[in-house]
A and B are shown apart, each in its own frame.
Chain A
């Protein structure tokens, strides 16, 4: 393929992506932040982030370390509250729920929005109990339904065939990749509508990483997915939309957001171009 042809093909896919994006814009996004700012103990971490996250789409969050990508994730399910001293302003909407409203039921919110962490964090319980205990705490008493849900989530993450014979063994004896898929299954078992994934593959070896990546793609249809990643190639492979966060005066800001193909083919900002070419960040 000549240089010219490749530019044309890039532009064509960019155009297609743009068209798809325009179609998306007609329906409201499932999650949306408007002018979101975050500060810890008076130190600003994020400034004025306005970002839509669409249902049935994967949005990738890329950018250098410390640009507030993980902090942004923690805002959406209000995990920022765990550390204390967090101050949020602006607006976050998840479905019909105003996240920053003090009266918001955080437990219900976090049930709707699952989260996966960089380091797999199964509880020191058996595989079965890792899934069963949160379900029971959320009021699922029916044994048969419990078993059915656990099996379905484990099948969804492709773990069922690997672990169904040893559900009562410690989850922490699983391999890293299996643990991460178990954590995803644990989140899926609660039947969330969105999943926030914080660099879900970066602590895994390449093969396990590939498996988890395929899993994320397979979940696209049913969920609103937000994936933080350091891996630009991964963002390009799996994401429908990509947002680039950057550090400006020590505070994380959103530099550019758009359909992935369009953003990679024709970035509008100079910083984006430099970052995508590996010159910055």
Chain B
């Protein structure tokens, strides 16, 4: 009696060699993530051992040079920025996808889709630069200092909008035509078709896109750093400046020493853990949507 096992599948020696090489490649690729967490952890270890994990949420403030490691204001800044950006980008992005699939005349849809793809291709540093030279002065004219939560939300929203729009577009495109034809045959209006039939059917895919966008918003560094003022404080209004976790790392790595440096790696770990969880969620959701559309 036999069953499929690797040993019998690659009878030729060149195949065995090929397979070993490919396995090596895959092992390296798979191990990068492990390496990242290992090295972050080892670099963060000194401060975790010295101060323990709780000081990062109980200390009076973030003054790493004086041994104070309060991360919460920056966690709050990160979450505010990301949440605000999602609040703007999700409705705009989903409506854009609905526009593409159900409202735009064909030639316009082609142009519009290209435009959203272009928007997705613009690098974050260009978004940040534009925010800095165009948006911030505009907001400052209204309410100083201009570098603010509002500017961060605005720039981030623009950055993640294409992600939301393109994944929602793909999810809506995967809704079976027969379902839509059936809705039309029932005499449903266009909006009822979209709202009651198409969007619920595409829910998992749209949601996966939103989660993906959330991950991007949480982890974005440069664009946010350039427009939010980087003051370590929980913002009390949309015009107040703030600092995100990612920006904190980029700003302070240049001169951080010893425990301060280790503390930055802790914030890197927090960030990576947060986003890794979101990515797993997105992978599961898109797996579900693939099932649903299959």
Contacts and interface: CB of A to CB of B under 8 A. Distances in A.
B141 interface: no
B2 A100 contact: yes
A86 B3 contact: yes
A40 to B, nearest CB: 10
A274 interface: no
Nearest to B12: A107
A105 B15 CA distance: 12
B4 interface: yes
A89 B1 contact: yes
B9 to A, nearest CB: 6
Contacts, number: 32
Contact of B2 (A85, A102, A105, A107): A102
A81 B1 contact: no
A88 interface: yes
Interface string A59-75: 00000000000000000
A200 B7 CA distance: 32
A68 B186 CA distance: 44
Give the contact-size bracket for chain B: 10 to 19
Interface string A75-105: 0000011001111110000000000111011
Query: B4, B7, B9, B11: which has the most chain A beta carbons within 10 Å?
Result: B4
Nearest to A101: B2
A167 interface: no
B32 to A, nearest CB: 27
A106 interface: yes
Contacts of A87: 1-4
A84 B4 contact: yes
A102 B12 contact: no
B8 A107 contact: no
Contacts of A85: 4
Interface string A99-123: 0111011110000000000000000
A86 B1 contact: no
A86 B11 CA distance: 17
A86 B8 contact: no
Nearest to A102: B8
Contact of B11 (A80, A84, A89, A106): A106
Nearest to B10: A106
Nearest to A88: B2
B23 to A, nearest CB: 16
Contacts of B3: 86-88
Nearest to A80: B4
A264 B94 CA distance: 65
A85 B4 CA distance: 6
Contacts of B9: 81, 106
B11 A81 contact: no
A105 B1 contact: no
B12 A81 contact: no
A104 B9 CA distance: 10
Contacts of B11: 104-107
Contacts of B8: 81, 102, 104, 106
B7 A86 contact: no
Nearest to A108: B11
B251 to A, nearest CB: 51
Interface in B1-27: 1-5, 7-9, 11-12
A98 to B, nearest CB: 10
A81 B4 contact: yes
Contacts of B4: 80-81, 84-87
Residue of B2, B3, B5 ringed by the most chain A CB atoms within 10 A = B2
Contacts of A84: 4
Nearest to B5: A102
A267 to B, nearest CB: 33
Given A87-B3, A88-B3, A89-B2, 20 more contacts: A80-B4, A81-B8, A81-B9, A84-B4, A85-B4, A87-B1, A87-B4, A88-B1, A88-B2, A89-B1, A100-B1, A100-B2, A101-B2, A102-B2, A102-B7, A104-B11, A105-B11, A106-B9, A106-B11, A107-B11
Instruction: Rank and list the top 3 A-B pairs by shortest CB-CB distance, nearest first.
Output: A89-B1, A87-B3, A102-B8
9 contacts: A81-B9, A86-B4, A87-B3, A87-B4, A102-B2, A102-B7, A105-B11, A106-B11, A107-B12
